[in-house]
Structure 1
Amino acid sequence: MKKPPAIEQSQPAAEDNRVAYRSGVAARLAGLSAETLRVWERRYDLSDTERSTSGQRLYSAEQVRRLGLLKQLVDQGHAIGVLARLPIEQLQELTKPRAGDAQVAGPLRVAVIGDGLVRRIAAAGREGAELAVQCSCSRLEHAASLRKDADVELLLVELSELDDDALPMIASAREACAAAAVVVLYRFCASATIRALRAQNCLVARVPAEPGELVLLCRSALAGERLPPPERVDVPEVRFDEEILSTITAAGNQLACECPRHLADLLLMVGSFERYSAQCASRNEADAKLHQELQHAAGRARAILEIALERLARAEGIPLPR
């Protein structure tokens, strides 16, 4: 009597031969939200991840570690668009204390605004001991109560919602305690407010997750380091001038699909706003910078719409200039 054929053991998939994490787990281990990780992957193609049999991304332990470094540096104010292109070795270098840190070795004498921050420093153990809280107050409005003779090196401010109203109060608090440097931590803040604070030589960053990151921020501020400016993407030259767009608009009226006409109309408006922003009168330096950013944003939107219009025109048989 023949024996039944032996049942072969199923071989482990390639991704099971080493540690591999699905995207949700990888995001959680790196301290990111799953949505943030999806956005980063879509915009910056962060890592050459493998795929499971069901098509899900799989992250190695090294890739998860890189994601954690990216999260740490972004929280410190670095631009993800710049960081995404760097190898893990350079990311590790960016997280290390700089040479200037030797000049500020030992516990840092800080004035703290924010009761929650004072409690976290006190509960942080060895890392918290690197920050010696000389004086503190619960709210920025109470900064006048900070001791004038506290011998403070650094002012540390934590505000969950940071807006322009806080700028003069932070400047007054810095003057009151004679701090050599200022670190401002936030959870939600407009980009314009962050730029204004950095223009006042404040180091501005999101509230860090770990005490060690807070200490690093403080030492960086005292060493006079500056966070890199946000990545600037070049705006392509104008491809379709108003005459060409008007021609496409007229041709679109003869087609069953009106999308070319609508898209050309949009481009006429966006291009006009791009030029208007470049010529708009500015009240001060900050206002001029804002209008430059508006011009830049309109130019990027215009370039994207021009690509879409070209594809649409070719699909509809509308002739385009060379």
Structure 2
Amino acid sequence: MTNTAQRQPVYRSGVAARLAGLSVETLRVWERRYGVSDTQRSEHGQRLYTAEQVRRLGLLKQLVDNGHPIGTLAALPLERLEELAGVGGSAPPLHIAALRVALVGETLARRVAAAAGLGLDVQRTASRLDGDMAALQGPPLDVLLLELPEPDESMVPLVAAAREAAGAAAVVVLYRFCASATIRALRAQDCMVARMPSEMGELAQLCRAALAGRQLPPSDRSAAAVPAIRFDETALATITAAGNRLACECPRHLSDLLLMVGSFERYSAQCASRNEADAQLHLDLGHAAGLARSVLETAMERLVLAEGLPLPPAPN
């Protein structure tokens, strides 16, 4: 939208957050706790961000990702942020290029076409996965976005073929109902698998996460679904040290819980068993601890992102 008085482009908070590479939740936390934005408001009370403010938010995100605590960055002027980020004052305005995508699914294509400001540049579409693959062929793309309401394992080779046809660097599969075995098979092919979002604004976030190589936590809770450890002791120590700069002590408390649950998970796997039933009991205990760890790790990742703390890489 445009401010007619100043003739400057201004953006609502959701669009500003997407352009800066932030989640809206993180932007709100940064504003509430650190006062990172001095925004104007529309006549309806909505926050409006100028291109310069969006650029500043983008620099803050970049620096936080590089390990700088948001608490020490929030009050710095734009020029100092540019200096820390290694860009000059004459740098062009922040512009986040739209992701080049191919879509599979008629309903998905209509919803994307009807939504504005998603940050998705739709270059090719196909109505069905088992249709003509030629519709997906062309220059390489960033993401292949597929709408598969009830996928099964027979579709996994078709997804791989569609990815090759589109030349996509990443694949996002959106479903409504799906068996856990199919989800695992798709993830084994490096696909991002997620339930169909109710808000179209989540699509770009899913696509960017897929390009970054991140996966969503498994949606099933079967015995085979315990994920690998996301935060080892070194990563938790890093988060705790960074979180010490915050008034909130949740990072430290959550780290303590994860260390305790992870320790019990390993203990259950090593505990001596008196008989077959006892062995099964310890297997079930370890499985329950693993699921609890996964839930807590998901909570930790949300907390880290919301507080602007550095996110340690996943263990190899």
For Structure 1 versus Structure 2, the TM-score category normalised by the shorter chain is 0.3 to 0.5
Tell me the TM-score normalised to structure 1 length: 0.42
Tell me the TM-score normalised to structure 2 length: 0.43
Q: Which has the higher contact order (CA 8 A, sep 6+)?
A: 2
- Structure (1 or 2) with the larger CA radius of gyration: 1
